Amino acid sequence: MTVDLKKYPDYLHPYCKKCIEENTLKKDVIEDGKVVHKTGKFCIKCTGIPKDFYKYVEHFIVGEDIWASYSEEKREYVTSLYSPTIWAKNNLHAQGGKEPFYTRSATKANIKKYDLEDGADEYQFLLMECTSLETVCRLGRRTGKTYGTAAKTLWKMFTRERLEVLLVTPMVSHLETMFSQIKDFIYNEPHLKASVVTDKGQPYPVIKLDNGSVIRGFPSGQGEKENTAIRSKACQDLIGDEADFINEATMSVALALLMDQKDVPQTLTSTPCGRRDYFYDQDMSPETKSFWFPSMVSPVWDESMERRIKKQYPTKLAYTHEVLAKYGSQEAGVFQIGYVDAARAKYRYYAGDAENPMEFGGPEPGWVYLMGVDWNPEAGVEIVMIGVKQEKSATKVRVVDAFHIEKEAFSQVKANEKIIEMNRIYNPSKIYIDDGGGGSTAIEYLHAFSFDLQNEKTAQEADVRILEIAKGINFGSQIETKDPFTGEDKKRPMKPFMVENAVRFFEQFRIEISEYDEKLVKQLEEYVIKNISPNGVPTYTVKSTNVQDHRLDALMLALLALTMESSYLGRVAEDNIGVSFVKLPHLGNFTSEEEEKKKTEDGTFMENKKQDALSAKSPTIPRSGRTSITGKRVVKSRHGSRPHRTNI
């Protein structure tokens, strides 16, 4: 028996009264030219949350006379049948049975500081007690989404007979997380454990109780296998966990099951990924009760955590999605115009575009250099050199040189010659090369060229070092990083990580680009997210058909080299810019700026270095068929230890 408390405001929870006021339509809802909901209507199907559950049960369920005859224990038991939070507090423990169940709430200080939504002071209570037929919970990371969902699901299963619960998630790992929490609750309570008659994990997880209630879990998957399995199941309660990442085909199959009977509850919980798909549409629907709570509602959130999380999240967009639980804008440029404009500075490169050469700036004392190379069979080769300088507590990054080699005959040879030339001029710590589109062949050429010089006494040191500093990067591979909240290792796709890493330098005002490099500026301004996969992985493109992104890719490779070779996110001490620079053996120990200054007092050192590089004998590029060096073989140079260079 359920009672619609909206008709009895004296018994209704204060939050529900505010919800009714805020969600009563201020204008007609029109679909396909027809008015489907009129002004003044409250469209959310719910019965409301009691202000006092014990009074509610006494007055509406059992009656005052019968209630008076109940013992305290029986009152608690009967009331728990109508309240998932009371039931959970009486029946569940977490953390291996060590921690009694409790509902989380935001601190008063955080509610005031972040101007949190109404209900933040009891947000998990509201999420569990809400009776809306259609519910969307848009939540930031570490707000207890899995904890609360698992507890409410068990309440339904243990207090109802033959309930068929269907849990759909984007990936198997999400299923495992939810079922792990459910099992943690069940198997720490002997009286709950005794009710389990089925518990299996293959091919998909299923837990069935002796009262006939069952929960089945399915990942959305990438094909028809999971969708076919879902079609064959009954559903009286649908839960979509991390629903914004579930692919459209799987969600459509699951939603079709709601047609088997009337008023099947649907609960969608997720951290938003930025897509404008079913989760977003449901969140905006007047028939849906929508909750929005950012990570700041967590009772452990404080200023120290905020500083750490902000530093460790790769971009502001990622922070917007996962911490603030906002959708952000998929259509907006990846590199915001304001940050690009702030990065533009009045200086020129040495090389520049082949059709528009720029004046020589050259290496400067106290700087470290890194090279990025993008290799594209249709567009040619882009080379970008960045310089890095530590200035007290700040780290300065500047694009110091860029060069484009058109697609033409022997461009492979010319590109390798240019890489070797720029390597001689700048002596970079690392060279990161896109190993697609011919880049893998280039890496083999460069390694073979350097390998042949390992024992040549007259070889230039810069040429000898190519074997150890040139590295191929596969945009389609994965990289292991640290989760900002848990500190656990987490695999992420390489390309999004590389993009987010570059965005971070712009957002933190730590990079300069030449205002004369119109190609790079245009590519930064035109770079957008093309789409976001069901698993939340973005793909990128440029808005204009006459703009490419290859110089930008080369820049992102150089910045990736800086991050990976000097900081590796989450594995070293933090500083105030979010990317930490520490002394690492493979970068050597640099001479100080004062020592470099002594070398240049006569004004000839840097110019001589330039002339030496430009007048050196043209490098010999290995022909096909010569020994290919993969980089796995280590060959000791005749020079012994490397020359000292400034550390970053």
Residue 428 has pLDDT above 70, yes or no: yes
Instruction: Please state which of the ranges 82-96, 158-172, 613-627 shows the lowest mean pLDDT.
Output: 613-627
The neighbour count for residue 596, using CB atoms within 10 Å, is: 19
* CA-based torsion, 609, 611, 617, 621: positive or negative: positive
The pLDDT of residue 582: 32
Helix (H) or strand (E) holding 391: strand 380-391
CB 134 within 8 A of CB 252: no
pLDDT score, position 1: 64
Cα 532-331-317 angle, rounded to 5 deg: 70
CA–CA separation, 374 and 551 (whole Å) = 7
368-585+600-615: what fold? Nucleotidyltransferase; domain 5 (3.30.420)
Confidence of residue 349 (pLDDT cuts 50, 70, 90): confident
Question: Looking at 52-66, 69-83, 395-409, 610-624, which range is the least confident one?
Answer: 610-624
CATH of domain 89-322: 3.40.50.300
Percent of the chain with pLDDT over 90: 50
What stretch(es) of the chain map to CATH 3.30.420.240? 368-585+600-615
Distance CA 203, CA 233 (A): 14
pLDDT band of 46, cuts 50, 70, 90: very high
As annotated, the residues of the chain forming the CATH 3.40.50.300 domain(s) are 89-322
- Helices 461-469 and 439-451, packing angle to 10 deg: 130
Of 15-19, 67-71, 122-126, 410-414, the least confident: 410-414
Write out pLDDT tens, residues 270-319: 999 877 789 999 999 999 999 999 999 999 999 999 998 887 776 777 88
Q: Is 467 helix (H, G, I), strand (E, B) or coil?
A: helix
Closest of 457, 455, 495 to residue 476, by C-alpha: 495
**pLDDT, tens only, 587-624:** 333 333 443 344 344 434 334 434 444 444 444 433 33
**pTM for the predicted model, two decimal places:** 0.65
- Can you tell me the distance from the alpha carbon of 615 to that of 343, in angstroms, rounded to the nearest whole number? 34
Q: Phi/psi of residue 524, each to 5°?
A: -65, -45
End-to-end CA distance of the chain: 69
Instruction: Give alpha helix (H) positions in 369-430.
Output: 411-426
**Contact status, residue 383 vs residue 418, Cβ threshold 8 Å:** yes
Q: How far apart are CA 347 and CA 517, in angstroms?
A: 10
Window from 301-305, 528-532, 570-574, 593-597 with minimum mean pLDDT: 570-574
What is the per-residue pLDDT for 295?
Answer: 96
Strands (E), 460-564: 470-473, 478-482, 489-493, 511-514, 527-532, 538-542
The region of weakest confidence among 56-70, 206-220, 357-371 is 357-371
